Amino acid sequence: LVIGAYVRGLSDRDIESLAREAGLGHISRSSVSTICRELRDRYRAFRARSLAEVRLLALFLDAIYLPVRPDGPKEGVLVAWGFTTDGDRVLLDVCLGQRERTEDWLDLGRGLRGRGLRSPLCVVTDGAPGLIRAVDELWPDADRGRCTVHRLRNVLAKLPDRPGLHARVRAAYWAALDTATSPAEAEAGLRRLVGELAGDFPSAAACLADDLLALTVHLRYPLRLRKRLRSTNLLSVNRPWRDGRARAA
Tell me, yes or no, whether 154 and 135 share the same domain.
no
Domain membership of residue 225 (yes or no) is no
Residue 234 is which amino acid? L
Tell me, yes or no, whether 156 and 88 share the same domain.
no
Predicted local confidence at residue 23, as pLDDT:
63
- Say how many domains are in the chain: 3
Domain membership of residue 84 (yes or no) is yes
- Rounded to whole angstroms, the Cα distance separating 171 from 196 reads 13
Domain membership of residue 229 (yes or no) is no
Predicted local confidence at residue 67, as pLDDT:
76
User: Which domain covers residue 163, as residue numbers?
Assistant: 149-216
Predicted local confidence at residue 8, as pLDDT:
57
Give the number of other CB atoms < 10 A from CB of residue 131.
25
CA angle 222/172/178 to nearest 5° reads 15
Predicted local confidence at residue 168, as pLDDT:
97
Last residue within a domain, chosen from 27, 48, 69: 48
**CATH number of the domain that residue 130 is part of:** 3.30.420.10
Predicted local confidence at residue 74, as pLDDT:
86
Tell me, yes or no, whether 60 and 133 share the same domain.
yes
Tell me, yes or no, whether 156 and 175 share the same domain.
yes
Domain membership of residue 38 (yes or no) is yes
Q: Directed axis angle between helix 12-21 and helix 29-48, to 10°?
A: 120
Tell me, yes or no, whether 62 and 135 share the same domain.
yes
Tell me, yes or no, whether 82 and 29 share the same domain.
no
Tell me, yes or no, whether 9 and 41 share the same domain.
yes
Domain membership of residue 205 (yes or no) is yes
Three-state secondary structure readout of the chain? CHHHHHHCCCCHHHHHHHHHHCCCCCCCHHHHHHHHHHHHHHHHHHHHCCCCCCCEEEEEEEEEEEECCCCCCEEEEEEEEEEECCCCEEEEEEEECCCCCHHHHHHHHHHHHHCCCCCCCEEEECCCHHHHHHHHHHCCCCEEEECHHHHHHHHHHCCCCCCCHHHHHHHHHHHHHHCCCCHHHHHHHHHHHHHHHHCCCHHHHHHHHCCHHHHHHHHHCCHHHCHHHCCCCCCCCCHHHHHHHHHHC
Predicted local confidence at residue 72, as pLDDT:
75
Tell me, yes or no, whether 134 and 160 share the same domain.
no
Domain membership of residue 200 (yes or no) is yes
Tell me, yes or no, whether 131 and 62 share the same domain.
yes
Tell me, yes or no, whether 172 and 131 share the same domain.
no
Average pLDDT by consecutive 10-residue portion of the chain (249 residues)? Answer: 58 67 65 78 94 96 81 87 92 93 97 97 93 96 95 97 96 96 97 97 97 96 90 57 37
Tell me, yes or no, whether 41 and 71 share the same domain.
no
Q: Please tell me the pTM assigned to this model.
A: 0.81
Last residue within a domain, chosen from 112, 139, 166: 139
Predicted local confidence at residue 4, as pLDDT:
59
- Rounded to whole angstroms, the Cα distance separating 208 from 172 reads 12
